[in-house]
Chains A and B, each alone.
Chain A
Amino acid sequence: MNNSIVVVILASAVAYGTPLLYAALGELLAERSGVLNLGVEGMMLIGAVMGFLAVQRVGGAAGLVLPAAIAVAALAGAAAALILAFLVITLRANQIVSGLALTILAGAAGLSSYIGNDFDLSTDPARYSFAPVNAFGLQDVPIVGPIVFGQNWLVYASWLCVVAVSLYLSRTRPGLNVRAVGEAPAAADAMGISVTKYRYLHTLAGGAFAGVGGACYSLAITPQWQDGLTSGAGWIAIALVIFAFWRADLCLVGAYVFGAFSALPFTLQARGVTVAPELFQALPYLMTIVVLVIVSSGIAKRRLSAPASLGVPYVREER
């Protein structure tokens, strides 16, 4: 039963959706504070390469090296986000162009490739990687076993992150402040909330999440380093945030839907069913457009739409 095609697809949807989930949670935090960061792909690749570098070069047992590598990936992603934050928050540069610049700087033909090449990372597979863990010994339970209990630590940690981000944004004072900063920065400023501080912190947190998302590829899915190994996941994560109506819990659903669509054709092919993978892979993008149209028109707009000041720099003197 656990080899049935539905279970296999769902299990791989969770595995493939996890990096998307991390990156989308990060982008969610940045966008909720009003910063549209289109550099997710670049930050993921930087996280992927730095996390991989840490695993290859730091001595020690797997149980120590792997968490350290994740920390390194998060720091690297945050460092990349800092460049963007300085540019768009302090210097008020255009967010779209800056985000693209970050992806070019850090991306597949940029710094991540430079680092990978300079440290000669693409020759060997990862010394340690995140292997599936049989959680509570429940992996063999019918149907839910392989999907829920047969995943690696990064997957389990991502669920905690979803809960944490969701509670943070809806139940804590700083979380509510972030939303105020994203919706009406002038009002937030008048309340004594530092718009600059909140935007910096959440853009950096977004970078850290994206870095971890990138490390999901180099330390769990692949697990090795090659140029551009995220192959566009960063862009999907940006779509995902819209798809999820800027909510953390729906990011989880969306990530697995997107993950299922990218895993489906390969699973079907392995079973001898030939389908054009492009048709399935195009669906998430088309669905995102449909969702965006719904969100931006009429009734749904007030409850479901983007933070009102997303992409707009805040200048106190010009409010």
Chain B
Amino acid sequence: MSMPQVRIEKRLNQRRWLMVAVPVGSFLVALVLIAILLVTTGHPPVSTFRRLFDAGYLADGALTSTLIAATPLAFTGLAAAAAFRMRLFNIGAEGQLYFGAIGAAGIALFLHGQSTVVLIAAMIAAGAALGAAWGAIPGLLRAFLNTNEIITSLMLNYVAALFLNYLIFDSLSYWRDTSPAARVFPQGKVLPDAATWPVSTLGSIGIPFGFLLAAAVAVGIWFLYTRTRFGFEAQVIGDSPRAARYAGMRTRRKIVAIMALSGGVAGVGGASQIGDFRHVLDVKGMEQASYGYAGIVVAALARYNPFAVVLVAVLLGGLQNAGYALQGADFPSGLVGVMQGLILFAMLGGELLVQYRVTLSRRVPLASLEAEAAG
């Protein structure tokens, strides 16, 4: 009698083909699981997938809407990736994005009458500044009081969301439309037309300015981590704090700087929400989208590579866009979330196959060994 045993060992050298085969395989596994769910609940899987794919990527104007959905995901994904390169878990991109939106909307209202160029520059700067300030709080707490940034950044998301609600629903703030017409349902002041960010076109596809900005930010983060001393030191601190300390690297200020950078990127994402898309401090819309949490998923799927983040954001943005477009009685609601979750789970599980070798071995019981030795 022998019991088969699963053994998991770390791979000494990573196989290149696995780096491609495993993500593709994981994605297919996720699709099969979703198909099983669809079949068991009486929905036709093939045509559901086809409609989803159509609405997300192929139909007229689908890619334009997909890029609009992808832009905030790219920003929050980059924010998460920038922090994780230093092994900092910033899950506060949600709140940092809100503060970026508050800053951008505030400055655009304040600079009413200025030219588009001035307004856009001011909105980006204000969004980045407020996002960075909100992101620096967990950074400071981590750097100087050794407080876990995961939980503090998470808590600050709620504080930011409540502050956002307060500005529009429970105060007479600068952001709120206080004209008699808006008394029935509280809403934000609509921004001046000049604060609308431009859309460039590539063939029939409209590319929001924010998306181009996100791509530029991706290049910047890549440059920071691969070509600068600052980025190198940040990675060393993340990988081995003790080695960094012996080498005399300034750990504390880098933690604060990277958290502020991460928050700033999310904040620009908030500015882009206002400039590209909403043109008003839209509380419920931003809350329901929960870009901050989705951004962490995007970053994880992209393995924290900034260029891959932009790509994954487009892929998931397409899924989300299809979800909005197909909302209705005959399309299963919640399917998009299920798909995103399952794809992520499959990818996370697949990661194991890249990093570890799984073998089935038979454990030979002691008794039979002894019998062999005796015989």
By a beta-carbon cutoff of 8 Å, the part of chain A in contact with chain B is 83, 87, 91-94, 96-98, 100-118, 227, 232, 235, 238-239, 242, 276-279, 281-282, 285-286, 288-289, 292-293, 296-297, 306, 317-318
Contacts and interface: CB of A to CB of B under 8 A. Distances in A.
15 contacts: A87-B348, A101-B345, A102-B341, A104-B293, A106-B341, A109-B323, A110-B334, A112-B334, A114-B337, A117-B333, A282-B159, A282-B163, A285-B156, A293-B145, A297-B146
B337 A104 contact: yes
Interface string B51-65: 000000000000000
B141 interface: yes
A292 B294 contact: no
Given A96-B150, A104-B294, A104-B297, A317 B9 contact: yes
Contacts of A115: 334
Nearest to B146: A296
B326 interface: no
A107 B338 CA distance: 9
A98 B294 CA distance: 12
A286 B159 CA distance: 8
B49 to A, nearest CB: 15
A41 to B, nearest CB: 10
Contacts of A98: 345, 348
B336 interface: yes
A239 B352 CA distance: 30
A306 B163 CA distance: 29
Interface string B151-183: 110111011001101100011000000000000
A23 B180 CA distance: 44
Contacts of A282: 158-159, 162-163
Contacts of A288: 151, 155
B351 A93 contact: yes
B337 A100 contact: no
Shortest Cβ-Cβ A-B pairs, 8 listed: A105-B341, A110-B337, A113-B334, A114-B334, A109-B337, A276-B170, A278-B162, A278-B166
B170 A105 contact: no
Contacts of B348: 87, 91, 93-94, 97-98, 101
B148 interface: yes
B296 interface: yes
A156 to B, nearest CB: 30
A87 B342 CA distance: 12
A278 B170 contact: yes
B296 to A, nearest CB: 6
A285 B333 contact: no
B145 A297 contact: yes
A296 B141 CA distance: 10
A289 B352 contact: no
B259 interface: no
A23 to B, nearest CB: 15
Given A91-B352, A96-B89, A117 B341 contact: no
Given A91-B349, A282-B163, A296-B145, A113 B333 contact: yes
A113 to B, nearest CB: 3
B158 A105 contact: no
Nearest to B165: A278
A242 B341 contact: no
Contacts of A111: 334, 337-338, 341
A118 B330 CA distance: 10
A252 to B, nearest CB: 21
Which residue among B141, B335, B344 has the maximum number of chain A CB atoms within 10 Å of its CB?
Answer: B344
A214 to B, nearest CB: 15
Interface string B214-226: 0000000000000
B300 interface: yes
A209 to B, nearest CB: 20
B114 interface: no
B332 interface: yes
A207 B315 CA distance: 31
Which residue among A109, A238, A318 has the maximum number of chain B CB atoms within 10 Å of its CB?
Answer: A109
A298 B336 CA distance: 45
A89 to B, nearest CB: 12
Given A114-B335, A116-B333, A296-B145, 18 more contacts: A91-B352, A93-B349, A97-B297, A102-B341, A104-B337, A110-B338, A113-B337, A114-B333, A235-B154, A276-B170, A278-B163, A282-B162, A285-B162, A288-B155, A289-B141, A289-B147, A293-B145, A297-B147
A92 to B, nearest CB: 7
Nearest to A242: B151
Contacts of A109: 323, 334, 336-337
Interface string B64-103: 0000000000000000000000000101000000000000
A297 B151 CA distance: 15
A78 B342 CA distance: 17
B340 interface: yes
Contacts of B201: none
B41 interface: yes
B171 A276 contact: yes
A97 B145 contact: no
Contact of B148 (A101, A108, A110, A292): A292
Contacts of B334: 109-117, 227
Contacts of B156: 285, 289
Contact of B297 (A100, A117, A286): A100
A282 B155 CA distance: 9
Nearest to A274: B170
Contacts of B335: 114
B349 A87 contact: yes
Contacts of B297: 97, 100-101, 104
B149 to A, nearest CB: 10
Contacts of B337: 104-105, 107-111, 113-114
Contact of B162 (A106, A114, A281, A296): A281
Nearest to B162: A278
Nearest to A97: B300
A239 to B, nearest CB: 6
A11 B300 CA distance: 43
Contact of A292 (B9, B152, B162, B300): B152
A286 B141 CA distance: 13
Interface in B351-369: 351-352
